[in-house]
Structure 1
Amino acid sequence: MKPTIHFFLLLTILGYGCQAQEFEAPSITGHIKTLADDSFQGRGTGTAGEKAAADYVMAAFRKLGLQPKGDNGTYLQSFPFRGGAHGEGEAGTAANIVGYLDNKASTTVIIGAHYDHLGTDGQQSSLDANPQNKIHNGADDNASGVAGVIELARYFTSNGKKERNNFLFLCFSGEELGLLGSKYFADHAPVDLSTINYMINMDMIGRLDPQTKTVTVHGTGTSPVWEPLLKKLETDNLKIKTDSSGTGPSDHTSFYLKNLPVLHFFTGAHSDYHKPSDDWEKINAAGEVEVLKLIANIVNSLDKEPKLTFLKTKSRMQAGRSAFKVTLGIMPSYTGDVEGLKVDGVTEGRPGDKAGMKTGDVIIQLGDHPIKDIQQYMDALGKFEKGQTVPAKVKRDGKVLELEVIF
């Protein structure tokens, strides 16, 4: 079914529960099922499928009465980009989607998520062994976050009160190519950044583990209020694991680098990450309801508080176009609490896979370089050349294994 035809059938989904204040799993599922449909062709940056997804989001914003804050009185903020892992690909134009709720307040809260994904070729980021001509639907990454933006926008436009903050509801493009859209927005914001209170980012919030019921919240060191507030808001339905760093591989980084308090919500890595198998049927919509309740409670708890104080944190690796000549072809963990670099995913046929690395391994040494965290891993990776053979040590099931990596 073509996106232009499919779009008109989506309006019934957008109308679901539009006056209700509570978050509801069927509404979340409806958004994700639509945005992760094959007709959107994986929402690759700047593609027709991504533009169809933008139409869907804009229809939701329009229905909720959000003011357009993009270019020339529209919801779209356009920016140029180049494809490819190193920006060596074709030039194109993509767009962020910007909706504004004006409460006549002196400060503004940003609630955002990226709506682009890997298209039909993986954009050189797929973890599938043969990604060409396979639709990467990105249900969790990041239709789940976009659903969160729409549902939070609905909540704050229909909850019967006027908060003491304005809201910018943002959906970014170009995240998968290196946070391009959020970087552009942070450099070309339609409001004065000094009036921004804080930024909330949602990236992969659709796969809450029903056993652990744990969401990881990054950025808790960026303001002194975050840690005590999150401890207070933890419930039996949602456990909270915190990470203090304000930087990481998602769009909150662009705002932290502008000295703004940030929080990033993430329900965890899984074997479908950056693969064609990341489909809507695997979404835990009831779990996402709990995450959105938490975010709404955070905003409501801070409504009468003064503008948040910003704190700098210890930096983690930022996502972006790789400057390295080699890669292991693994998905590194950004939430691992062990010494070393935990492997959250391994791409078939890449050097790590050929060397025998497995999901759950902890890399503790590459060549002569000990690995204690992700920064040391990235530092070490930058020292190797293609064709080089490098010994590696990993921990697996309490044992240290020696592997041979051929880059």
Structure 2
Amino acid sequence: MNRIFLFMFFLAFMSCKKNETPLVTIQEDVAFLAKDELEGRETGTENEVKAATYIKERMESIGLLPMGLDGTYYQTFTFKPKKGPHDEVQFVENGDSILSGRNVIGYVDNKAENTIIIGAHFDHLGMGGEGSLYVGEDIHNGADDNASGVGVLLKLAEKLKDTLNGNNYLFMAFSGEEMGLLGSNYFAKNPTIDLSKANCMINMDMVGRLREDKTLSVSGTGTAPIWNQVLNSVNPGFKLVLKESGIGPSDHTSFYLQDIPVLHFFTGQHEDYHKPSDDFDKLNYEGMEMISGYIVSTIGELDGKEKLQFRKTKNESEETPRFKVGLGVMPDYLFDGKGMRIDGVSEDRPAFKAGLLKGDVVVKLGDSTVTDMMSYMRALSVFKEGDSADVTVNRDGESIVKKIDF
């Protein structure tokens, strides 16, 4: 009798296993979104539609409810693209030369009072053009920017569904981020849920390049009094770089401007940023799993608690000086030492010609001492084309002076 029971149990178990939807890894999601066939997922193209369809099907397989328009997972928006670099994109209903983008939105309804919004943008630069740091036309796959964020978004949907139920969850993949936060801006002004019930918004943009020292930037920590305490108490071993401002060059900004507490997770820029070389095989997938676990733990601290209190923060972008010239370097935004560390040098630009290298830490530019990113930008802002200046850098413990010709 026992043998028959065990045999029947085994058959039933195997039948259930066959009917289960197998879990998809972050790596598999990124591999699809960042493949050459999608040609960079530029907003308004058929390849953006293919990427959106994939995300919709993934949300459906996870068991998220549609929370777009008309009972679908999609929120479509139409707009006129910019004619020049200083123009603004305009949302329009109809007319000539309009493009369409789409947000992909899924929902977990825990019958809770408040909702946590979790987002990441899925569009990228297509074949290049405006915004690209590559000379020429080639596929910009955007594996880190921002297939990585979407991969973590979908992993969070799997982890949070049927677990933490003190909040509802709205999972949203935005389009149009590279054109000026279009998708998140449109949703914030045309929400498919009651935004007065939004507890907070968590954004992942470029979370695929966690470094060996596990440095992780989290912005928006000043937008709710509890953030610093929570982030430090559940930290599994990250070297955290915490920034208070709720304003930044990613989709969390659209929600901060609606008086919603935000957090933005970011593993730093790199030499492949906005270039065709931002590819699937360069990402740190173990690091992305670690980040997803950290976000779940952060959300767990909010479970069953009162709605977060919103606080306004200083708008750091308003204090950023304007430049007439540039060094041609990629700053290391995660560096927390004294000075401005160079994370990449562009060929045929002033820094390259002067012999500056990746890893150099700028400590003086002209007559100005450089202690951090803001002091570096202030020092750079006084120069114009044709000027020359000495720059002092620390290189492997040695102080080196080079001449920069702007």
With normalisation by structure 1, the TM-score equals 0.81
Q: Deviations over 1:91-148 (max 9, x none)?
A: 633222222222222211011111111211243332x3x2x22111111111111011
What residue number does 1:239 align with?
A: 238
What residue number does 1:148 align with?
A: 152
What residue number does 2:221 align with?
A: 220
Q: Secondary structure at the match of 1:167?
A: strand
Specify every segment of 5 or more residues in structure 1 that has no aligned partner in the other structure, as ranges: 1-14, 21-25
User: Which of 112, 118, 131 lines up with 2:125 in the alignment?
Assistant: 118
How do 1:247-258 and structure 2 match up within 5 A? 247-258=247-258
The answer to whether residue 282 in structure 2 is matched with residue 282 in structure 1 is yes
Q: Does the CA contact (< 8 Å) of 1:85 and 1:177 recur in 2?
A: no
Give the whole-Å Cα distance in 1 for the aligned partners of 2:71 and 2:323: 41
Q: Deviations over 1:245-272 (max 9, x none)?
A: 2333322222223332221222233332
What residue number does 2:291 align with?
A: 291
Q: Does the CA contact (< 8 Å) of 2:81 and 2:99 recur in 1?
A: yes
Aligned-residue sequence identity (percent) comes to 44
Q: Does the CA contact (< 8 Å) of 2:221 and 2:227 recur in 1?
A: yes
Q: Does the CA contact (< 8 Å) of 1:220 and 1:242 recur in 2?
A: no
| Structure 1 residue 389 displacement after superposition | 2.7
The answer to whether residue 303 in structure 2 is matched with residue 303 in structure 1 is yes
Give the whole-Å Cα distance in 1 for the aligned partners of 2:30 and 2:21: 16
Q: Secondary structure at the match of 1:336?
A: coil
What residue number does 1:3 align with?
A: none
Q: Does the CA contact (< 8 Å) of 1:43 and 1:119 recur in 2?
A: yes
Runs of 4+ in 1 over 6 A off after TM superposition: none
User: Which of 182, 185, 195 lines up with 2:187 in the alignment?
Assistant: 185
Q: Secondary structure at the match of 2:274?
A: coil
Q: For the structure 1 residues 285 and 345, does the alpha-carbon distance in structure 2 shift closer, same or farther, using more than 3 Å as the test? A: same
Q: Higher mean Cα deviation, 212-221 or 273-282?
A: 212-221
Residue type matched to 2:219 in 1? H
| Structure 1 residue 81 displacement after superposition | 5.0
What residue number does 2:44 align with?
A: 46
Q: For the structure 1 residues 122 and 361, does the alpha-carbon distance in structure 2 shift closer, same or farther, using more than 3 Å as the test? A: farther
Q: For the structure 1 residues 352 and 141, does the alpha-carbon distance in structure 2 shift closer, same or farther, using more than 3 Å as the test? A: same
| Structure 1 residue 382 displacement after superposition | 5.7
Specify every segment of 5 or more residues in structure 2 that has no aligned partner in the other structure, as ranges: 1-17, 90-96
With normalisation by structure 2, the TM-score equals 0.81
The answer to whether residue 339 in structure 2 is matched with residue 337 in structure 1 is no
What residue number does 1:204 align with?
A: 206
Give the whole-Å Cα distance in 2 for the aligned partners of 1:382 and 1:97: 40
How do 1:1-400 and structure 2 match up within 5 A? 18=21, 27-74=25-72, 75-83=74-82, 85-87=85-87, 92-126=99-133, 128=134, 130=135, 132-157=136-161, 159=162, 161=163, 163-209=165-211, 211-235=212-236, 238-246=237-245, 247-317=247-317, 326-364=325-363, 371-378=370-377, 387-391=385-389, 393-397=391-395, 398=397, 399-400=399-400
Q: Does the CA contact (< 8 Å) of 2:39 and 2:141 recur in 1?
A: yes
| Aligned pairs, number | 376
Q: Secondary structure at the match of 1:241?
A: strand
Residue type matched to 2:227 in 1? W
Give the whole-Å Cα distance in 2 for the aligned partners of 1:111 and 1:187: 17
Q: Higher mean Cα deviation, 61-70 or 111-120?
A: 61-70
